[in-house]
Structure 1
Amino acid sequence: MCGIAGFLNNSGVKHTEFVLNAMLTRIRHRGPDDCGLFLSDNACIGNVRLSIVDIASGTQPMSVQNGRYWIAYNGEVYNHPELKKILEKKGHRFYTECDTEVVLHMYQEYGAEGLSQLNGQFAFVIWDTLEKELFMARDRMGIRPLFYTKPDHNSLVFASEIKALFEFPRVNRALSVEGLNQVFTFWTTLSPNTAFKNIYELPAGNYAKIKNGNIIIKPYWSLSFANRQQISLTDAVDQFRDLFRDAISLRMRADVPVAAYLSGGIDSTTTTAFIKKMFPEALRTFSIGFEEKDYDESVFQKQVAQHFDTKHHSVSFKNEDVAGLFEKVIWHAEIPILRTAPFPMFKLSKLVRDKGIKVVITGEGADEMLGGYNIFKEAIIRHFWSKYPQSKWRPLLLKKLYPYLPHIAHSGAAGLKLFFGYKLSETSSPAYSHLLRWNNTSRIRKFLSKEYNVDDNSLVQKYEELIAAEVKAYSPLAKAQFIESKMFMSGYLLSSQGDRMAMGNSVEGRYPFLDHRIVEFCTQLPDDLKIAGLDEKFLLKQVVKDVIPHSVLNRPKQAYRAPISQALLNEKSGFVDATLDVSKLKDLGAFDPQSVAKLVSKLRQNHIVSEVENMALMGMLSTQVLFDLYIKNYKPLKPDEVNRGRVMNRIY
């Protein structure tokens, strides 16, 4: 895995080699093993490399033999050996064993149409020295990031992370009012927006062509739940098992050891079981526990590690780690966050790297594809309740979903109606499943100043209008899955908890549940193979019922969470008071100081804290830290801080 950066049309920029080296230095954590540059008057592209496949000869940027195309590539295309054989039959000659060269030859042979043949996770750019055109592409699910900005009409600056863009002299740094309001509603920004003004991401499953200052962006793949098929449980189990076995096999391809995350839940236990069955040699697994017992799953982690006889490593996440890691996590996340879930993932990836491992298999994507989230079951119950809204019994079903939330677990029917009854009858809404979550989250916006707060209803309404036609024929579950997968998975889960936290410690995550063949198979499954009654991930449980420990298979669903207010308000460094100091709040101007002070005071006095209040505290803290790191206190790198990469080619 790697990091890429570069720019087009460098007129007005002095010392282009230094600027590109500075951009790459900012993301050196993504590729500490090597660094290379291609330099010309029209385009400068570079790469920092985390060597995993063909360690000896995979240096980038890389060119085809005639020097027309140059690629800077971040990713893994797992089926590159098979694609290489196809290309060789067409007369292509190869000089390395790495997937980068295969991707470049695929583009040379097929152009953008070749993207549909790639199985992997990637973000890359290819510069055509003849046509003076830049091609950018990103994987189907948005596992690997790619950002860009246009300082003027003729220029374009791109990078794997936003921090690299800020090393380009003409890129301004400012938080986006629209982006902040989206985060404080949807938990993330809506692609292509980011938390920064005029900084955009290339959307997942899209490619772009940039020539003469014009940028054309097109999808080459889209997530669709439109073609549901009738299939028996037996056939579904067999087909899923075969697909998953192959997805695991492909993701074990590497020239370095591959390990696995082990959370103690069904998803990571499934990946561990398949790896151990297919590759009986010693498997290293990694877990994180919590000193707060409400969040800890270490008992199940140990059971699974013992059951499959893995070489297991674990680390404990302490409450003090939240404040201690805050700046590092936000530096890598590059967006305000409303939960502390990324913090343990950052600490876990550091353990992985400290043990000399570069690659881990993880279980992300199973919940989205196979119906594992409580929000899916919540929507089912609300649909059921909406048919008889006066019922005293139907809302009580919701207590089963959130036993870990005191204000829900201890509520009667009246309290549940008050909390879950928001727009109960609006079942025709294309976003019905998420209306309640977004309404609750949007209460955070009451802490925003007048200058930063936009119209309360417009954000959700615009999103409903955006997806209405696309999801019109979907079932209620499919609509919920579409939203969770299209918006939240790439925008939050795979970035703030996945790529960013792992790559912050130079670790590559691999996601077999997000193999595009598995995604496409799952989108076609009948709803009752995903959620049977209120039994989530029904198909997956059938696949592994005789494979994994019954203690894991039959355990109640436990959402992955980490402590917030109890960790932050009781720590001794004064982090909260220092970060939310009135003078600092006024520097940014995004939050109303009086409202902030009232919330902090309330949190310190009350033992029962609502999820919205927890998220509000995190949102304000992370926004202020983001502002301090990237706006107020950001300093471009000095010459003695910049690493010099190898110049692979220089054309002037």
Structure 2
Amino acid sequence: MCGIAGLFSLTGPRESDPSIVDRMCRQMIHRGPDDQGVFHHPLGQIGMRRLSIIDLGGGHQPIHNEDESIWIVFNGEIYNYRELRRELEAAGHRFYTHSDTECIVHAYEQWGEGCFARLRGMFGIAILDIPRQQLVLGRDRIGKKPLYYTRTREGWLAFASELKCLFPVPGFENKVSAESVRDYFGMGYVAAPHSIYQNVAKLPPAHYMVVRNGQEEIKCYWQVQFQPKWTDSAEVLEERLFEQLDDAVKCRLVSDVPFGAFLSGGTDSSVVAALMARNLQAPVKTFTIGFKEQAFNEMPDARAVAQHIGAEHHELVVEADAVSMMDKLVWFFDEPFGDSSSIPTYLVSQLAARHVKMVLSGDGGDEVFAGYERYKRYDMLQAMSRKTLGLAGPAMRVAGALAGGAKGVRMARAADRLAAPYPDRYLSGVGLCTRDDLAMLLSDAIADKDPYARQRAQYGRSDIALESERILAGDMLTYLSDDIMVKVDRMTMACSIEARAPLLDHQLIDFAARLPYDLKSRDGVGKYLLKRIARRLLPAEVLDKPKQGFAIPVAKWFREDLREMMMDLLRDQRFRERGWFRPEAAMTLMQQHLAGTHDRSEMLWLLMTFEMWARRFLDQAEPAARTA
């Protein structure tokens, strides 16, 4: 696992300051504390920071082909690199390392941009092709590894694994995008291809970009297909799914360093840990954190799973320093990021980093197998609308007005959802702010207060017949890629460890997408077929429990640990003069929350995270580098 960065001339070969990419790389030492390498050429520079996982002694990057005409830097892991190497050697390619990185450069020689479709793994890749005078950037199918890029007025294209690495680039402009501010407050993140800055883009997942003759060409090389459906019996499909799961875990156990697993006690991480135990001779190292507040503590379930599979279990009850945590989050995320579960993700990564350099996680199970409660709630909403011939919304609005209070507010919001068309009916149930919230909170500098303006298109695939599966596809393209994957990448990399997600193996996703929907969600129970497999591997007591999620007591923290910090930030003159918000609305939210009349913790978290980000990345000319 690493971080990559580089410059490419859009105007042909010319001289460039050799220290630029070095400075870019040093902004992300946490991603690769083991090594740094930079290659200079008149076309540009490419560099990387390395966290050594495979071929510890010989995998120094950048890596080149036989005649040193093609160079590569690579962030990620390729799990089928040994099979690729055998095929490439048979075709006449000669290798000088044992790394997966070198397989990519020879695969590019052999198949051109078609190489990306042959890679099984997670990656952000930059290839400098000197004979063709082009730069090729590629990103994995789900977006596990990040890749940002920007054009400068001086005629350079700069790219990097993290946004902060672009600050040393001459001519870099960090002008905030009004649309991205709206997106952040609407959903809690800024989805690709956009970033918080007007002139910086994210290469979308499952895409590659060729930069040549001053032009950029971006192409998609993979899209999950939900048709045709498998027609085998449920029993046969269960066996086939078990084989897919086992293979996805097994191929991710290749490592030259100690590794383990995150274990929350939920179905997904428990299945992954159990399959690891089946494929390893030594006990699996598992890592769990908990909180004193029992509503947020899954340690007993994780402990039961660890004991069942014979794991070497490590756990820690944390009393998080919320103020210190928020400062760390801001630095490592680079953009405003509204998912507070990043705190426990960071803390469990810290715990694991004391023992291992690589972990497997259970991320992706909810999106791939329809496990979220919000899918169940949406299906219930749809059923209610059908059974009442569309009259449920007006009736609920009247009932809400009569009920009043918090219950009345909830009923009014449900009525609003019932009145909305698809996909707003779904998005309004997962967004953090409604259009009315944004109109109240955001200033006139943000003209469009539509929270889903840049999300709707991702939920509109006409080739997917079932609305519920269009939602799964949309969540993979947005929430999974730009929230979950960002959170896991930044928090594990902050602690200099690598995370691998077997449930997001693209071959497994391709298989699971074609399962009949009632084998994913049946009678209000998500992950139906996955849970049948889990019953083979896990104790019943951890399966027959409500889904808990990986959360923290944010509402309580704002009334206690974060109270003083919140008041200082939102009353400060800098916050009031940003121009993005209505300060009086922020004061009202804070007062309502402190008084206990409303739970405003989500919106307050969005505001505080944004203001702390602005102080670090807008108020400073170049944010000072820090180590993990």
TM-score (norm. length: structure 2): 0.93
- 1:560-571 matched pairs, under 5 angstroms: 560-571=550-561
1:589 and 2:582 correspond? no
How far 1:202 moved relative to its partner?
Answer: 0.4
Taking structure 1 as reference, are residues 546 and 331 closer, same or farther at Cα in structure 2, changes over 3 Å only?
Answer: same
Q: Which residue of 1 aligns with 2:400?
A: none
Q: Which residue of 2 aligns with 1:309?
A: 310
Distance 1:433 1:637 in 2: 41
Taking structure 1 as reference, are residues 364 and 602 closer, same or farther at Cα in structure 2, changes over 3 Å only?
Answer: same
Distance 2:153 2:582 in 1: 34
**Greater shift after overlay, 363-372 or 345-354?**
345-354
Q: Which residue of 1 aligns with 2:416?
A: 422
Deviations 1:436-477 (A, max 9, x none): 3338444542454424333234x5356435653x24643121
How far 1:315 moved relative to its partner?
Answer: 2.2
How far 1:390 moved relative to its partner?
Answer: 4.8
Distance 2:308 2:621 in 1: 49
- 1:159-308 matched pairs, under 5 angstroms: 159-308=160-309
Q: Which residue of 2 aligns with 1:529?
A: 519
Secondary structure of 1:460's counterpart equals coil
Q: Which amino acid aligns with 2:152?
A: P
Secondary structure of 1:546's counterpart equals helix
How large is the Cα RMSD of the aligned pairs? 2.4
How far 1:637 moved relative to its partner?
Answer: 5.6
Distance 2:360 2:525 in 1: 26
- 1:323-334 matched pairs, under 5 angstroms: 323-334=323-334
1:445 and 2:438 correspond? yes
Taking structure 1 as reference, are residues 256 and 525 closer, same or farther at Cα in structure 2, changes over 3 Å only?
Answer: same
8 A Cα contact 1:576 1:621, kept in partner: yes
8 A Cα contact 2:188 2:337, kept in partner: yes
1:475 and 2:466 correspond? yes
Taking structure 1 as reference, are residues 430 and 569 closer, same or farther at Cα in structure 2, changes over 3 Å only?
Answer: closer
Secondary structure of 1:286's counterpart equals strand
- 1:379-528 matched pairs, under 5 angstroms: 379-387=378-386, 388=388, 389-390=390-391, 417-426=411-420, 429-438=422-431, 440-457=433-450, 460=452, 463-464=455-456, 467-468=459-460, 470-471=461-462, 473-495=464-486, 497-528=487-518
Distance 1:294 1:483 in 2: 30
8 A Cα contact 2:93 2:106, kept in partner: yes
Structure 2 residues not aligned, in runs of 5+: 397-402
Deviations 1:304-361 (A, max 9, x none): 111122111122232x522221111121112223331101111111111122x11000
- 1:80-95 matched pairs, under 5 angstroms: 80-95=81-96
Q: Which amino acid aligns with 1:375?
A: R
Q: 1:635 aligns with which of 617, 622, 625?
A: 622
Larger relative contact order, structure 1 or 2 (CA cutoff 8 Å, min sep 6): 1
Deviations 1:257-297 (A, max 9, x none): 12000001011110111111111312110011012221111
Deviations 1:389-434 (A, max 9, x none): 5569x99xxxxxxxxxxxx9x987x76532322241556x245422
8 A Cα contact 2:180 2:194, kept in partner: yes
Distance 1:22 1:382 in 2: 52
Taking structure 1 as reference, are residues 227 and 417 closer, same or farther at Cα in structure 2, changes over 3 Å only?
Answer: farther
Aligned length: 616
Q: Which residue of 1 aligns with 2:157?
A: 156
8 A Cα contact 1:322 1:568, kept in partner: no
Q: Which amino acid aligns with 2:412?
A: L
Taking structure 1 as reference, are residues 629 and 440 closer, same or farther at Cα in structure 2, changes over 3 Å only?
Answer: closer
How far 1:535 moved relative to its partner?
Answer: 1.0
Distance 2:579 2:409 in 1: 36
Q: Which amino acid aligns with 1:475?
A: L
Deviations 1:115-162 (A, max 9, x none): 111100001100011121000000000000000000137310000000
Deviations 1:348-393 (A, max 9, x none): 11111122x110000001000001001111110011000115569x
Q: Which residue of 2 aligns with 1:619?
A: 606
Secondary structure of 1:203's counterpart equals coil
8 A Cα contact 1:305 1:311, kept in partner: yes
Q: Which residue of 1 aligns with 2:565?
A: 575
Distance 2:209 2:345 in 1: 32
Q: Which residue of 2 aligns with 1:650?
A: none
Distance 1:562 1:475 in 2: 34
Q: Which residue of 2 aligns with 1:601?
A: 591
Taking structure 1 as reference, are residues 241 and 346 closer, same or farther at Cα in structure 2, changes over 3 Å only?
Answer: same
How far 1:593 moved relative to its partner?
Answer: 1.5
Distance 1:554 1:313 in 2: 24
Secondary structure of 1:424's counterpart equals helix
Q: Percent identity, please.
A: 28
8 A Cα contact 2:10 2:157, kept in partner: no
**Greater shift after overlay, 24-33 or 565-574?**
565-574
Distance 1:234 1:352 in 2: 37
Q: Which amino acid aligns with 2:312?
A: K
Q: Which residue of 2 aligns with 1:136?
A: 137
Q: Which amino acid aligns with 2:456?
A: E
Secondary structure of 1:588's counterpart equals coil
Q: Which residue of 1 aligns with 2:359?
A: 360
Q: Which residue of 2 aligns with 1:403?
A: none
How far 1:174 moved relative to its partner?
Answer: 2.7
Q: Which residue of 1 aligns with 2:72?
A: 71
Taking structure 1 as reference, are residues 341 and 609 closer, same or farther at Cα in structure 2, changes over 3 Å only?
Answer: farther
How far 1:574 moved relative to its partner?
Answer: 2.5
Deviations 1:531-573 (A, max 9, x none): 1110111011111212201011111122322121311331278
8 A Cα contact 2:14 2:42, kept in partner: no
Distance 1:528 1:140 in 2: 26
Structure 1 residues not aligned, in runs of 5+: 396-407, 643-652
Q: Which amino acid aligns with 2:344?
A: P
Secondary structure of 1:45's counterpart equals strand
Distance 2:412 2:335 in 1: 32
8 A Cα contact 2:78 2:119, kept in partner: yes
How far 1:230 moved relative to its partner?
Answer: 2.7
8 A Cα contact 1:47 1:72, kept in partner: yes
Distance 2:292 2:109 in 1: 53
Distance 2:530 2:302 in 1: 19
Distance 1:303 1:120 in 2: 31
8 A Cα contact 1:10 1:43, kept in partner: no
How far 1:303 moved relative to its partner?
Answer: 1.0
Distance 1:282 1:467 in 2: 42
Secondary structure of 2:335's counterpart equals coil
Q: Which residue of 2 aligns with 1:405?
A: none
8 A Cα contact 1:167 1:637, kept in partner: no
8 A Cα contact 2:277 2:309, kept in partner: yes
1:349 and 2:387 correspond? no
TM-score (norm. length: structure 1): 0.90
